[in-house]
């Protein structure tokens, strides 16, 4: 039976929507428990929120005559994309350019731009809809794409990034896990329409 209470939207949690910690940090096992203090909040995100993409590339094997007889999965990708809005946040800049490329000296930040590969880190995405919570946990994620950084007087400076979720032994070989807390939903009795 359809239940409109099962239809959720997403707002960032007040504790932060995107948080990151060093690899190996104890990760979450549910949507509501407080995270390890090593997870740091990366501030405001762009108004389009967070986009999760799951891609399965396949190779269709055809028999003589054109019938598909087997479909082989050749790859699987799980990514999260969003836009960082805080361009004066050293923690954001360390994600975009690499932790070794951002130096903070008092009120001064220096950013070096080079070909060094960005590190893998643990990521948590937290959203809510009233009392309902959703948490995406990526124990091993790496920023693999950074969009064009535009500086213009009619818009804010922002950093569009894509985080690739890698298979992780931390969660039994999964790329990511989503935890839902739906305690605020009214239970539905299937016998009572």
- pLDDT by residue for the chain (193 residues), tens digit each? 888 878 888 888 877 799 999 999 999 999 999 999 999 999 999 999 999 999 999 999 999 999 999 999 999 999 999 999 999 999 999 999 999 999 999 999 999 999 999 999 999 999 998 888 999 999 999 999 999 999 999 999 999 999 999 999 999 999 999 999 987 555 544 454 4
Residue 9 belongs to a domain: no
With respect to residue 187, please indicate whether it lies within any of the assigned structural domains: no
- Domain membership flag for residue 4: no
Alpha-helical runs (H) found in the chain = 90-97
Per-residue confidence (pLDDT) for residue 8, from 0 to 100:
80
User: Whole-model pTM?
Assistant: 0.88
Domain assignment present for 128: yes
Per the structure, the count of domains in the chain is 1
Contact at 8 Å (CB) between 25 and 173? no
- Give residues with Cβ within 8 angstroms of 158, minimum separation 6: 46, 83, 84, 85, 87, 149, 150
Q: Is residue 55 part of a domain?
A: yes
Q: Containing domain of residue 56, as a range?
A: 16-28+38-181
3 within some domain: no
Looking at residue 9, its pLDDT comes to 85
Query: 33 lies in a domain?
Result: no
**Would 152 be classed as within a structural domain?**
yes
Range list of H helices, 37-184: 90-97
């Amino acid at each position: 039976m359809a239940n409109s209470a099962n239809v959720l939207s997403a707002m960032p949690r007040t504790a932060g929507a995107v948080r990151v910690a060093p690899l190996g940090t104890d990760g979450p096992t549910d949507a509501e428990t407080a995270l390890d203090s090593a997870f740091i909040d990366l501030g405001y995100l762009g108004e389009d929120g967070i986009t999760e993409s799951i891609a399965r590339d396949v190779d269709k094997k055809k028999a003589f005559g054109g019938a598909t007889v087997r479909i082989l999965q050749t790859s699987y990708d799980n990514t999260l994309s969003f836009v960082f809005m805080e361009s004066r946040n050293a923690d954001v800049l360390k994600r975009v350019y690499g932790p070794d490329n951002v130096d903070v000296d008092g009120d001064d930040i220096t950013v070096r731009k080079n070909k060094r590969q960005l590190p893998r880190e643990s990521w948590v995405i937290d959203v809510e809809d009233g009392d309902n919570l959703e948490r995406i946990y990526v124990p091993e994620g790496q920023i693999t794409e950074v969009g064009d950084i535009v500086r213009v007087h009619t818009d804010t400076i922002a950093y569009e990034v894509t985080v690739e979720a890698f298979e992780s032994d931390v969660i039994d070989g999964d790329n990511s896990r989503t935890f839902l807390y739906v305690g605020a939903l009214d239970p539905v009795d299937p016998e009572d329409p």
